[in-house]
């Protein structure tokens, strides 16, 4: 089983950017949690981060036939990107939308997600620990659907 973890804009700044909201863990820490969770559950996890919307769209498009599932933290693109929404819908790969913070406890513009309606689940508010939770939940879903 193969899982792709995608991270959107500014997530490379984790640990430095607004630690009161996002914590002190780095993107490398978050990705390590995802990879470790995958290994413990018998899955291979690849991670990719970009500040560029088109690069994320391209990775999603290339995932078909390669990955069984996707975990995506679209970051600010959550609230703006029809392109990411359409890419997720097009590949028909089970996808979990992930957020480090609880977006519903933040500014009103963060309450709307363009990507959530085409994802099988949304997980938020657990800090970077959400990366391991999202991977574990996705793997459990994939195992149930393969039976």
Active site residue 104: no
CB 109 within 8 A of CB 79: yes
Active site residue 67: no
Q: Which of 67, 77, 99, 131 is catalytic?
A: 99
Q: Which of 22, 67, 77, 131 is catalytic?
A: 22
DSSP conformational letter for 122: E
Distance CA 7, CA 11 (A): 6
Quick count: other Cβ atoms within 10 Å of Cβ 19?
Answer: 11
- Which residues, 6+ apart, have CB-to-CB distance to 77 below 8 Å? 8, 9, 53, 56, 84, 115
Helices 82-91 and 53-63 meet at what angle, rounded to 10?
10
Any idea which residues carry the catalytic annotation?
A: 22, 99
């Amino acid at each position: 089983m193969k899982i792709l973890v995608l991270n959107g804009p500014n997530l490379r700044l984790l640990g430095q950017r607004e630690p009161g909201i996002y914590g002190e863990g780095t993107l490398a820490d978050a990705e390590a949690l995802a990879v470790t969770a995958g290994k413990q559950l018998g899955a291979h996890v690849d991670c990719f981060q970009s500040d560029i919307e088109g690069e994320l769209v391209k990775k999603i498009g290339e995932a078909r036939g390669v990955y069984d599932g996707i975990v995506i933290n679209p970051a600010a693109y959550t609230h703006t990107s029809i392109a990411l929404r359409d890419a997720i819908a097009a590949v028909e790969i089970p996808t979990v939308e992930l957020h480090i913070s609880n977006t519903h406890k933040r500014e009103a513009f963060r309450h709307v997600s363009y990507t959530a309606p085409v994802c099988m689940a949304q997980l938020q508010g657990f800090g970077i620990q959400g990366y391991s939770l999202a991977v574990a939940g996705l793997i459990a879903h994939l195992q149930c659907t393969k039976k």
